[in-house]
Structure 1
Amino acid sequence: MKIHKEGRKIILIEIAILTLIWYFFPELNILLVILILFTMLTIYFFRVPNRELNIKENNVYAPCDGKIVVIEKTIENEYYKDKRIQISIFMSPLNIHNNLYPISGEIEYTKYHPGNFLFAWNPKASTKNERSTIVINNKKISILIRQIAGALARRIITYPKKNDQVNAGNELGFIKFGSRVDLFLPESTKINVKLNEKVIGGKTIIGIY
């Protein structure tokens, strides 16, 4: 296990504050205990496990750890403007929060949208909250991934740029402190997960194309 690069600065600041309080105000025992616990929680949140991924062609992999909260056919209005299968994965603050590419291919579209901070399980979160949209296309499939901020998550990190070549299982980005990821897949995709199922990023097969 390692600490994600997006969390290292935050953790160093917390440790510095903790050290200063311990050095100058050692009598503040309760505050020190609270800060130690908070720092430990931050370290836990930004953890990244070492995983052996067995990526195979024609599979759409989970882009994150979490729980399936939506499986439905819907109109995707931002990019495709047609009917797609929407799969939504809710990430609690205790889940791993780095996001992975579900398939290999070329980045066809990226766009960041400022917005609200509704709870991630709210159906309106997909179009109302702060979010980042990425479209990946290869010779066999085109899919849309949407990183969505939740009530606690107020910063979305998205690494790819248009025309980048990416590989399934590699890191796409990070969402801080509780959030959701939506996938929009072609109607022909064979869905391999069920509602309320727990999924593991880069390992669980969401669908087959």
Structure 2
Amino acid sequence: MSLYNTIRNTIVPVHKEGYPFIAAFLAASLILGWLFAPLFWIGLILTLWCAYFFRDPERMTPQDDDLVISPADGKVSSVQMVVPPSELNLGDEPMLRISVFMNVFNCHVNRAPMRGRIQTIAYRSGSFLNAELDKASEHNERNGLVIESAHGAIGVVQIAGFVARRILCFAQPNEPLQAGERFGLIRFGSRLDVFLPAGAVARVTLGQTAVAGETVIAEFGSAKGPTTSRRD
């Protein structure tokens, strides 16, 4: 591996939304260090963590309209049939919902799970329960996108968590999205729900680690059944 690739893989780019936070952490570290020297080192560690939190690495996304790609880094916390949120206007029938929970150490840049065009973006205020809880989908602050894909409308919902207090969505209605394209970010712990129409088969299981823009979480047009797992 060349020196360039080694540096590129070690030093991950930071998303621009993180710059103000990193600057604030660093400024606080300098002030605290001026008051009491050991506090500078504690602040510096927190500053490095902040830069790590806002990392925005490149991802290699499969370009296949039959594949659904994880929109977030984290743990698969739910794979079940659920009625989608009413503001998405996806109907009253249960859809396959795959949820990915992000803790404070995961990369929080959100990516489109499929190629398509954004039909709707719907924000709803709410609580800040632990995003890993199932009831967080109903009660927490959230921002939903409806994307018209090759297999029909799919829903992607950004859900704020206990620590998260800010959902960011960079996309706009009627904009096209490519699978794996960045569309948003949630600050400091949260969850992404993906609602899929009939024909989708889950390709992940509970507890599995997913990588945004790379992990295939579901598939359309496959004769194979749902994925099973085994813990060794």
Q: What value does the CA root-mean-square deviation take over the aligned residues?
A: 1.4
- CA offset at residue 21 of structure 1? 4.5
Counterpart in 2 of 1:150?
Answer: 161
| AA of the residue aligned to 2:81 | K
Q: Does 1:42 align with 2:50?
A: yes
Tell me the distance in 2 between the aligned counterparts of 1:54 and 1:124: 32
Match of 2:69 among 58, 61, 74: 61
5 Å-filtered alignment, 1:7-86, equals 7-22=18-33, 25=34, 28-78=36-86, 79-81=89-91, 82-86=93-97
Count of residues in correspondence between the two structures: 206
Which aligned runs of 4 or more in structure 1 are off by greater than 3 angstroms? 19-22
Q: Does 1:106 align with 2:117?
A: yes
| AA of the residue aligned to 2:203 | N
Q: Retained in 1: the 8 A contact 2:14–2:56?
A: yes
TM-score, length-scaled by structure 1: 0.93
Could you say which structure has the greater relative contact order, defined with CA pairs below 8 angstroms and 6 or more residues apart?
A: 1
- CA offset at residue 138 of structure 1? 2.5
Counterpart in 2 of 1:180?
Answer: 191
SS in 2 for 1:76: coil
Percent identity reads 34
Structure 1 portions without partners, runs of 5+ = none
CA displacement, residues 54-99 of structure 1 (integer Å, 9 cap, x when unaligned): 3222111000111111111122241212220111110111111000
TM-score, length-scaled by structure 2: 0.84
Counterpart in 1 of 2:214?
Answer: 203
Q: Retained in 2: the 8 A contact 1:65–1:201?
A: yes
Tell me the distance in 1 between the aligned counterparts of 2:52 and 2:206: 27
- Structure whose residues are more often strand by fraction: 1
Counterpart in 1 of 2:136?
Answer: 125
Q: Does 1:2 align with 2:16?
A: no
SS in 2 for 1:187: coil
Q: Retained in 2: the 8 A contact 1:83–1:187?
A: no
Q: Retained in 2: the 8 A contact 1:134–1:146?
A: yes
